[in-house]
Amino acid sequence: MRDGLSKTGEAPDSRSARLQRPVVVVADVHVGLDEPKSLRRRVETDLARVVADHPGAEIVLAGDIFDLSFAPSVERSGELLGTLLDDSPNLLGALRAHLAAGHPVTVVPGNHDAALGEEDVEARFRDRLGVQAGAPFSIHPWFVRRGDVHIEHGHTYDPDNAPIHPLASWDAATEPLGIQLTRHFVSRIGAGVFSHAQDSTPLKSILRAFHAYGARAPLMIAQYFDTAIRLCIESGPRLSAIAASERRDGEARLTNFAEATGLSPSEVARLEAERNTPTHLSRGAMFSRMYFDRVVATLLLTSSIVALPRRPTAGLMAIASLSYLAGSWSRGHNRYAGMPESYLREAAARVREATRARLVVFGHTHREEDGDGYANTGTFGFPKQPGRPYVLLNEDGSLSRRRALAGA
């Protein structure tokens, strides 16, 4: 991953409300091979139209533009990116035309396309775009600042998708939980029904699997639990040495990164220190996040009831298991519902306080949101309302919500 921001990008603005030019922010497009080609073509065409409709603006692709997490391994992300770009001729053409006219395109990777921060993957992207020396194309780790506006994908504040350090590359062992599940379960069995479900429970996913896949569902569910158990075993203490190395790599890049963004090293260090601990660094957190406590309690309850005629003492285990399940369910069927939104909302407040930002723009949650000094773009690829959402930062620093007419 790059130490700081590319020299081909725009220089950081001072912390004023005024911007050098309008800025279009688009996130969560999710161009990938798991969707039907007709849908993929509509999405890339709609994004191409947004780029063409804003000549002179800076186009900020704020994460999860490409589903590179569906590559079989981190190392093969470049191959998948090349395939996706070749299959997105309208988007590729629009970006080329925008850059050729001297207008900037800025990429801030998210959790699903974090590999864009790797030099070989960036080189492939530049090659497909035909980027010449000095062209205003740049790929930035973590976040960018435009005036007093802070822009990033937001996954670094969501424990299930957070890296060890936002300025360090991850490898196969240290990928966040959400990416591990995508790469090793969702992509391998074509379980598109599980994709982009940010906070679904295992039970809800199982029911969806039976509805969508019928006779294949039991095998898929078995594969899910096989993957989940393996990830749980490999989490926590097993990652401590690798995690420490990644953390040192990230910290070594922090000063240069801060200088490139126009912030002080202490401000950036404070942001990093206040992030939530990634889920996969704690085996206990993994066990709970995968709902294994409820799975174990259900198994104990079932076995106790079966054994009850032969062993009356099994009733105590049944009562204890039932009590645990009742207490757990009383606190919410989905104990993580709304958590990504809450994490990012709280993070936006911390970003404003630590860096004196007036406005923080995130993506990641797939839900549009406007709050006090906070805006979430929503998902361009899977909108929950008519039209594909994105935001426009005007030159006076104000924010306008825009919608591209899907498939128009």
Which domain-ending residue is among 274, 299, 327?
327
* Domain housing 102: 23-211+234-284+338-404
Kindly give, in sequence order, each residue whose CB lies less than 8 Å from that of residue 307, ignoring residues fewer than 6 positions away.
314
CB 93 within 8 A of CB 139: no
Tokens of 28: 């969560």
Q: Considering the domain boundaries, does residue 223 fall inside one?
A: no
Same domain, yes or no, for 163 and 111?
Answer: yes
Identify any residues that bridge with 93 across adjacent strands, giving them in sequence order.
none
Distance CA 185, CA 74 (A): 15
Q: 132 burial class (0-12, 13-18, 19+ CB within 10 angstroms)?
A: exposed
CB 32 within 8 A of CB 164: no
Q: Considering the domain boundaries, does residue 333 fall inside one?
A: no
Same domain, yes or no, for 320 and 202?
Answer: no
Same domain, yes or no, for 354 and 310?
Answer: no
Q: What is the reported pLDDT for 78?
A: 92
Same domain, yes or no, for 310 and 191?
Answer: no
Helix/strand/coil for 14: coil
Q: Considering the domain boundaries, does residue 8 fall inside one?
A: no
Dihedral (Cα; 27, 33, 36, 42), 10-degree rounding:
40
Identify any residues that bridge with 403 across adjacent strands, giving them in sequence order.
389
Same domain, yes or no, for 54 and 132?
Answer: yes
Could you tell me the pTM of the whole model? 0.88
The number of C-alpha atoms within 13 Å of 1 and in the hemisphere containing its C-beta is: 28
Distance CA 291, CA 362 (A): 28
Q: How far is CA 390 from CA 59, 109, 148, in A?
A: 11, 16, 19
CB 209 within 8 A of CB 191: yes
Question: Can you give the CATH number for the domain in which 158 is found?
Answer: 3.60.21.10
Tokens of 387: 């039209």
Q: Considering the domain boundaries, does residue 40 fall inside one?
A: yes
Q: How many angstroms separate the first and last alpha carbons of the chain?
A: 37
H/E stretch holding 161? none
Identify any residues that bridge with 87 across adjacent strands, giving them in sequence order.
none
Q: Considering the domain boundaries, does residue 5 fall inside one?
A: no
Same domain, yes or no, for 194 and 301?
Answer: no
Same domain, yes or no, for 242 and 186?
Answer: yes
Domain count, the chain: 2
Same domain, yes or no, for 316 and 255?
Answer: no
Q: What is the reported pLDDT for 6?
A: 44
pLDDT (tens, 9 = 90+) of the chain, 408 residues, equals: 655 544 444 544 556 678 999 999 999 999 998 777 888 899 999 999 999 999 999 999 999 999 999 998 888 999 999 999 999 999 999 999 999 999 999 999 999 999 999 999 999 999 999 988 788 999 999 999 999 999 999 999 999 999 999 999 988 889 999 999 888 887 776 655 455 554 555 555 556 666 666 666 677 777 778 888 888 888 888 888 899 999 999 999 999 999 999 999 999 999 999 899 999 999 998 888 888 888 888 888 888 898 888 888 888 888 888 887 788 777 766 667 789 999 999 999 999 999 999 999 999 999 999 999 999 999 999 998 899 999 999 999 899 999 998 665
Same domain, yes or no, for 308 and 167?
Answer: no
Q: Among residues 347, 354, 402, 395, which one has the least CA distance to residue 378?
A: 402
Q: What is the reported pLDDT for 187?
A: 75
Beta-carbon neighbour count of residue 51 at 10 Å? 23
CB 356 within 8 A of CB 370: no
Q: Considering the domain boundaries, does residue 3 fall inside one?
A: no
Same domain, yes or no, for 98 and 50?
Answer: yes
Which residue do the tokens 């993994």 mark? 286
Tokens of 246: 């990644």
H/E stretch holding 149? strand 149-152
Which domain-ending residue is among 274, 306, 327?
327
Beta-carbon neighbour count of residue 195 at 10 Å? 18
Same domain, yes or no, for 140 and 190?
Answer: yes
